[in-house]
Structure 1
Amino acid sequence: MTAVPEVLFVCVHNAGRSQMAAALLARHAGGAVRVSSAGSAPAESINPAVREVMAEIGLDLGTEFPKRLTTDAVGAADVVITMGCGDACPVFPGKRYLDWHLADPAGKTAEEIRPIRNDIDARVRTLLGELTAG
């Protein structure tokens, strides 16, 4: 692993789960981890309800946008975390892959998305502990 580990979060539309995970990890890591996110079939924009629940905890996704998953992005990452993108994510030897089974926030209200956000937050805190231990 590189001196500063790089984590890539991947979901289908890069409009919800992966955006929340990237923002949360970036906040908690404080520069100790490089973070990016992408989607196998990116949406036009981030889910407005996702923006809302992230703003509630002081994270503004206003400048973020869905990005297309590239082979280069996967190649640069030390850890690739997929969230329901199935086989769309390229696999490279030597990478650490995790598949987080999370509800898709698409079409859900802010009230329904908060538990997803909180689940992601707990997972990224655990991941950060693993990446920065020792």
Structure 2
Amino acid sequence: MIKQTEISLLDALKLTFQLALQKTQKFFTKHYKDALIFFGLLVALVVFQEASFAGTDGDDFADIYTKLESWSKGTLGKVIALGMFLVGLATGVVQQSIIAVVIGISGALSLYYGPAIINSVVSGIV
């Protein structure tokens, strides 16, 4: 005859808790360094959060932004855009594919209209 043993609910919960504790301990011993790095970064983010708001006025790079925007919309930008288009056209003829021409046109359009799009996306009306 097979002998049946009865396990009480308390014993079943105790066994389940012990198994979960063993698995948790295995996990933490295996990933100890990763957890330590994660909690270190978390503490650093909490401690140094004030430094992340430094220099948010945006006046530091206004001159270079204006210079690059004027270059891309000026004669230099038009020359580079025309160069992109011509290189795309030549590559399209060599490869006998329209995709290179489309890439050249999209690069030229991105160069010319990109700063205006970026400016309108980044600067919101408050």
Instruction: Name the TM tier (shorter chain).
Output: under 0.3
**Which structure has greater helix proportion?**
2
Q: Structure 1 length as normaliser, TM-score? A: 0.20
Q: With CA pairs under 8 Å and 6+ residues apart, which has the higher RCO, 1 or 2?
A: 1
Select the structure of larger CA radius of gyration. 2
Q: Structure 2 length as normaliser, TM-score? A: 0.21
